[in-house]
């Protein structure tokens, strides 16, 4: 089993994710592609001391981009998780965004 720091890679900070955090108590993270929903939920509970109600995941395919002089390259594939927490619980890393 992976440690919580290896499971959660970084938070996703976009207009949509900040609005979800503000209005619906749902927080978005990029996660290790090999981690499952149970590992992600436990990692969020251990790191941020909140009660997780549910986890939704999505695999994001890397886009094709021009890289340097080579004709094309690809951005890496990612896995994104949207974690729902109990009303009243907050995750501090999102606090200054809204």
pLDDT per position as a tens digit, 77-95 = 999 999 999 999 998 877 6
CA pair distance 56, 64, nearest whole angstrom:
26
CATH topology for the 4-86 domain: Alpha-Beta Plaits (3.30.70)
Residues of the chain with pLDDT under 50: none
pLDDT at 98: 54
- CA-closest candidate to residue 20, choices 83, 64, 62, 73: 83
pLDDT at 83: 97
Domain limits, the chain? 4-86
Q: What SS3 class is residue 74?
A: strand
């Amino acid at each position: 089993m992976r440690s919580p720091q290896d499971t959660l890679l970084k938070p996703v900070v976009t207009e949509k994710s900040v609005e979800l955090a503000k209005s619906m108590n749902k927080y978005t993270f990029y996660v290790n592609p090999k981690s499952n929903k149970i590992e992600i939920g436990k990692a969020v509970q251990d790191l941020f001391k909140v009660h997780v109600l549910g986890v939704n995941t999505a695999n994001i395919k890397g886009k094709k981009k021009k890289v340097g002089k080579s004709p094309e390259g690809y951005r890496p594939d990612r896995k994104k998780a949207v974690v729902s927490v109990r009303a009243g619980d907050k995750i501090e890393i999102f606090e200054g965004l809204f």
